[in-house]
Structure 1
Amino acid sequence: MTTRQSRASRPEGCICVNCGDTVEGRANTRHRGPDIAWFAHCHPCAALVAEQVQPLGLLPGGGVDVYQCRSCGSLRVCRTGWRTRCHICLDERSAGLSLAAGARLLARLPDEPGLADRVRRFAGLADPEPVSIRAAAEFQAAIALGEELDRRRRDGWADLAGDVHGLPWYGERQAPFSHGTWGLHLRCDSWQRLRDRSCAQCPPEPEDRTFAALRDTPYLLYLVRHRGLLKFGVGGASRVRQHLRAGAQLVEVVEGRHADVIEAEAVLKRQKRAAGEPLRWWRTRRMPESFGAGTEVVRNGVRIRLGDYLRDGIDVTSRFTSAPGTTRDNAR
């Protein structure tokens, strides 16, 4: 006599990662919305971010793609046909555990005025204005994303895009699940998944190396000019010299703690997106290859003083202007 096997039990209930409401059943059914960015969502939260990101069609093969947030402009990689959302931006339904990282950061601000100033700059707030818990959570997510991507950053690559499990809700990576980190190799102008140090299509270069994400390691925030454009970015000395060899003029280079430089870059990117002034095609067409796709490029008329974003940094521009044939552009 054989015993009839019982059917698989129905999945137990769980909560929507964004608002904390209880959802039941399988993903994308009557009592549960589609899973987005690896986590369960209720139907209202899923509907709210349905158009938050747009596919860019950059990656070869069609299995995965890079998606760009329509609000802040940050990039995220996701499998084609799956649902994802911005690494940084929360929404009006975000509540409970999704704001816990912001609450922890807010608790530090009264005792850390420097951190409070950076968070206000990120959120576009004046000094007396209070920082909302959502703004604090988004700041924490932006820093976590920057540090994750910087572990993969290397010379000769630009426009890194990744997939950090746990963002934007937890303020840090929660699990190793990922659709990978991708970048544009400037030498061959191809998007590739960054699995090792070398480009899969080009011969290896002696200068290729992976940047270690060490919080207290000296790092550079730089600003260069080419014709009517300004390019800001982070990296080592070789990255700055790469722009100079491509014909750009040096404006300013500031050295600071690795963590502080990443924060400053996040603020600059957010302010660029908030300005909402896209570059005309005829300007980007003449950019040097080292500028990549123009993610950190703005018009020449935009006033940027790196010392305002990295106040504890040291101006090291002279390191790069002392070489023969190198000039500094003092017009800011």
Structure 2
Amino acid sequence: MVNQSSPVGFLLLGFSEHPGLEKILFVVVLISYLLTLGGNTLIILLSLLDPRLHSPMYFFLRNLAFLDLCFTTSFIPQMLVNLWGPEKTISFLGCSVQLFIFLSLGTTECILLAVMAFDRYVAVCQPLHYATIVHPRLCRQLASVAWVMGLVQSIVQTPPTLRLPFCSHHQIDDFLCEVPSLIRLSCGDTTYNEIQLSVSSVVFVVVPLSLIFVSYGAIAWAVLRINSAVAWRKALRTCSSHLLVVTLFYSSVIAVYLQPKNPYAQERGKLFGLFYAVGTPSLNPLIYTLRNKEVKKALRRLLGKDAENREN
């Protein structure tokens, strides 16, 4: 996998053309990372410690929280170093590892959000059979499929990307190593890589998003047939958090991976990429805790038990 055209490493330009903005971004990224660490760790602990959260929905949410922790930790420390000082280099090995993890976990999240949409569909449309359909074994199987597909996607796409003949300046016009930026850095023929990127975008972005649309279309149709305000409110409570997370995640992913080729779109894509990589993992736990009564009750129960233990 060693690429002789990149014997040392790369220079991550990021937002270096706006040095004043970099200091602001350092603070924003640091705060977002701390929120990501704290919020997602809290969700994992609550879903493990509180028996009332031992349900399929929180099993998938725990997977999402763990994924976001790994996802952000794979590149944010490097990004903070680059934003703070003049040194913006990353070794070829570091870039390779970052690319592999970023691809794998990003793909896993696309599939996992589609799986969670299926879970919400069964919860709304088949509530009496929910426990029978979405049983623990199926949950583990679906989560395993998401993680394995992400790993396979990364194994397939990472080596061809790293074998590209990179230009001698080795300057990546981005804040991390990802496929579109490395393709732009190449001075050779990238037709195969662009086709591969397009195919993987359809398979792992468009297809899961289509399945999410189908799930929510079925939910909307089921609620419309009931024609009840109570049913609408219940469906909204059940699906609103996931729907908001899907909207934030996929809108930024589409802006990054399905954008036209021009300088304006590239610069805009960098901002959307920053939101996709840094913003959504920090917002996910806030959305699921602030808009979820069960999680808030579980947190109060946990804090209440801690208070009782201290008193005793």
Under a length normalisation based on structure 1, what TM-score does the superposition of the two structures give? 0.26
Structure with the higher strand share, 1 or 2: 1
Which structure has more RCO (C-alpha within 8 Å, separation ≥ 6)?
2
